[in-house]
């Protein structure tokens, strides 16, 4: 047996041992995770409200700022973002039309449908 063959055999044995250790540790981790999930009590409304107030206080939000208010603000921001993106696409479509691109090319570049392109053409005749 050569030195290289001995090294290969030792490497194989080390890999098998490491695989065994990894499998044992992952099994222990899985059991600990399941046990922690079973032992963790479910939060009630009072606990959730208390956590919400602490987070809001840490963020400097007023007491009347609730999840509904935050959700409404997020919806408003989403609507404004959609409007800006829509305006940007319309501006891009008009620019492409002025430079001689076909409706198919404009639709492919912007994602605007043929019907929407016709509506843009009717409203933006300048």
Establish if 99 belongs to a structural domain.
yes
Domain that holds residue 92: 66-126
What's the total number of domains in the chain?
1
User: Would 55 be classed as within a structural domain?
Assistant: no
**Within a domain: residue 116?**
yes
Residue 41 lies in a domain: no
Contact 126, 120 (CB under 8 A): no
pTM of the model: 0.39
In a structure prediction context, what are the per-residue pLDDT tens digits for the chain, which is 126 residues long?
A: 788 888 888 888 888 888 888 988 888 888 887 776 666 666 778 888 888 888 877 776 655 556 777 788 888 888 888 888 888 888 888 888 888 888 888 888 888 888 888 887 777 665
Assigned domain for 98 exists: yes
Q: By CB neighbour count within 10 A (0-12 exposed, 13-18 middle, 19+ buried), where does 60 fall?
A: exposed
């Amino acid at each position: 047996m050569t030195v290289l063959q001995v090294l290969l055999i030792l490497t194989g044995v080390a890999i098998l041992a490491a695989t065994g250790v990894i499998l044992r540790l992952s099994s222990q981790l899985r059991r600990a995770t399941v046990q922690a999930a079973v032992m963790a009590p479910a939060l009630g409304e009072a606990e959730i409200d208390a956590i919400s107030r602490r987070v809001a206080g840490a963020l400097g939000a007023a007491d009347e700022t609730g999840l509904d208010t935050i959700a409404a603000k997020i919806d408003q921001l989403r609507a404004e973002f959609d409007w800006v993106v829509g305006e940007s696409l319309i501006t891009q479509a008009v620019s492409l039309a002025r430079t001689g691109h076909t409706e198919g090319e404009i639709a492919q570049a912007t994602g605007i449908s043929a019907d929407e392109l016709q509506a843009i053409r009717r409203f933006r005749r300048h």
